[in-house]
Structure 1
Amino acid sequence: MQVTTKHTRLNMLMLYFLLLLCVLLMLIPFAWMLSASLKLDKDVFRFPIEWIPSQPRWENYVEIWSTIPLGLFIRNTAKLTIIVTFLQLLTSSFAAYAFAKLQFKGRDFLFLGYVATIAMPWQVYMVPQFMMMRSFGLNNTHLAIICLQAFSAFGVFLMKQFFMSVPDELCEAARIDGMNEYAIWAKIMLPLSKPALSTLTIFTFVNTWNDFLGPLLYLTRTELKTIQIGLRMFISQYSSEYGLIMAASVVALIPVVAVFLSLQKFFVQGVASTGLKG
């Protein structure tokens, strides 16, 4: 029995060591980016790497705001991200409730067809989408991106799997008490689905904030561009200013990290509970 216990502890130590090693390997690029953002250009690629600069150049974080309209790009990105995230949470949870808790003809076939669109790469239909948005007069507007990203088959699938874990008896009891489907969705299903909503919020926020190809296709005016397009423009104009490029990248990363850290508790719960029907 004692030998088995020692063997189990040894396996756990090895597992934790491997996990720690993987974490360090994933964090090294971010640590290098943060270190490079506080250096002069000539010191960025110096070897051996000076992880903690002896003379941090905080001026890099000041210059990036005047070198390019970084504040404008962040406002545009925040506007699109917040609107798209809110709309996806609304539409995905609403459709998922219908697929999970309502009975209507062709429900399963419709859900299967909708979810099957996940398997189709966006590059396959991005040209027809662009032509459609242009025919609607939405080219070079934020509304084009909002309309295209307001719905998510992945979000519907995620929310439906979570709603299926909620007992049907709750909905039936609410109907007996006189609540309609809209009230059941708003007052019962949404409060119970905070973990799934938080998970979908993180995925949507990160994907929208980091979206590059969508804004590249639809936004050509500088005053409409997002942070990812702005960073690409910054790299094109100042390809040798590595310290400034890394500083701008760190600033662009902060909102994503903040959202993830604030919702990580619910994110873990959502991943663990989604798909479990009880």
Structure 2
Amino acid sequence: MKNKAFPRIKGLPLTLLLAAVTGLSIGPFYWLIVMSTQNSNDIFAWPPKLLPGANLVANLMVLDEKIGLLRVVGNSLLIAGSQTLGALIVSLLAGYAFAKFSFRGRTVLFVLLLSTMVVPDQVMLVPLFEMMMKFGLMDSYPSVILPGLCVPFGIFLMRQALGSMPNELLDAARVDGAGELRVLWSIVVPVMRPVMAALSVFLFLGAWNQFVWPLITLRSPAMQTLPVALASLHGMQANTDYGAILMGTAVSTVPMMILFVVLQRQFISGLLAGATKG
């Protein structure tokens, strides 16, 4: 009995450590959910309230009245979804070209592409603003979507993942008469699905949470995204409604949670793909 119990006792510190880390990770999110159901007075009450309150519907109604909740969520979903899909396609095509085609200047182009990853996004704001002005795209969805279609990290990730795919597999499909698009769709996409799922989560997260560029280029309230609309709630009145703000913050986490739950298995497989290859 002592020998059987010893491994359990030995693993107890690790279990407690993992439980503590899990609590620290879940704690802020639980606090956000609880506070989003309270009014402003209860949020700052002492001792703090640890259970959900009765202001869930009221905070939702106030939030919808002030920013048009469905409208701004729809704007964010449209922009983030389109940008994620476009960036995923561009990353796959560019990564496939860099990994499987030999052409003059390939290495130089790839190095130049990677060098853009060290350039801060803030440096690109003025050139992008001038481009959108000249193209007549200001205050439109394309002005936010187009600059996010080329993601150097996504191209790099797809290129590295495609580099381990055997060329013989692609050559066999070409011998059978398949064109490059057919090879890409029938051979490459099924194999790269876990990596694409993992990349799509990162791309959607970045597109959903972007704030500065939509704030600059989307001038009319009808085009605002959720992060920009939530920021506008500060200082709208003498008394800021923190319950509505926290409710909006809680709502903003829902799409990411749904996306991760749907792609969880593929996401984990994509993250572990590099570690399982010899």
Distance in 2, Cα, partners of 1:141 & 1:120: 26
Partner of 2:100: 101
Q: Report the aligned-residue RMSD.
A: 2.3
Q: Is the 8 A contact 1:40 1:57 kept in 2?
A: no
Deviation at 1:248, TM superposition (A): 1.4
Answer with 203-212 or 62-71: which moved more.
Answer: 62-71
Taking a change above 3 Å as real, the CA distance of residues 16 and 125 of structure 1, as seen in their structure-2 partners, is: same
- 2:272 paired residue number: 272
Query: Deviation per CA, 1:32-62, whole angstroms, max 9, x where unpaired?
Result: 1111111121111222222114645432223
Higher mean C-alpha deviation, range 227-236 or range 53-62: 53-62
Between the aligned partners of 2:220 and 2:232, the Cα distance in structure 1 is 12
Classify the secondary structure of the residue corresponding to 1:151: coil
Using the alignment, how far apart are the partners of 1:211 and 1:20 within structure 2?
32
The question of whether the paired residues in 1 share the 8 Å contact of 2:198 and 2:266 is answered with yes
By how many angstroms is 1:264 displaced?
A: 1.7
Cα 1:7–1:236 shift into 2, 3 Å: farther
Measure, in 2, the Cα distance between the counterparts of 1:32 and 1:52.
Answer: 9
For 1:241, the aligned partner's letter is: D
CA distance in 2, matches of 1:32, 1:98: 47
Using a 3 Å threshold, how does the CA distance of structure 1 residues 225 and 110 change in structure 2: closer, same or farther?
A: same
Indicate the percent of aligned positions where both proteins have the same amino acid.
32
C-alpha distance in 2, partners of 1:275/1:181? Answer: 29
Alignment of 1:245-264 (within 5 A): 245-264=245-264
Distance in 2, matches of 1:152 and 1:66, equals: 36
Alpha-carbon distance change, 6 to 104 in structure 1, aligned in 2, over 3 angstroms? farther
Q: What is the match of residue 36 of structure 2? A: 37
CA distance in 1: counterparts of 2:220 and 2:86, whole angstroms? 25
Q: How does 1:34-73 map to 2 (within 5 A)?
A: 34-53=33-52, 55=54, 57-73=56-72
Kept in 1: contact 2:132–2:143 (CA 8 A): yes
Residue 209 of structure 1 aligns with an amino acid whose one-letter code is W
Listed as ranges, the matches of 1:12-23 within 5 Å are: 12-23=11-22
Report if aligned partners of 2:38, 2:53 keep a CA contact under 8 Å in 1: no
Question: Is the deviation greater in 27-36 or in 225-234?
Answer: 27-36
Report if aligned partners of 1:92, 1:152 keep a CA contact under 8 Å in 2.
Answer: yes
Aligned ranges 1:234-253 → 2 under 5 Å: 234-238=233-237, 240-253=240-253
Give the Å deviation of 1:244: 1.3
Equivalence for 1:190: 189
Q: Summarize the alignment of residues 105-254 of structure 1 with structure 2, pairs less than 5 Å apart.
A: 105-238=104-237, 240-254=240-254
Unaligned runs of 5+ in 2: none
Matched residues in 2 for 1:201 and 1:57: separation?
Answer: 31
TM-aligned CA distance change 1:189 to 1:62, over 3 Å: same
Q: CA deviation at 1:139?
A: 1.8
Deviating above 4 A after TM superposition, structure 1's stretches of 4 or more consecutive aligned residues are: 3-12, 54-57, 275-278
Offset, 1:105: 1.8
Distance 1:114 1:41, change over 3 A: same
Distance across 1 between alignment mates of 2:214 and 2:74: 14
Structure 1 unaligned spans of 5+: none
Further displaced range: 9-18 or 43-52: 9-18
Tell me, in whole angstroms, the C-alpha distance in 2 between the residues paired with 1:242 and 1:81.
26
Query: Size of the alignment, in residue pairs?
Result: 277
The answer as to whether partners of 2:233 and 2:240 remain within 8 angstroms in 1 is no
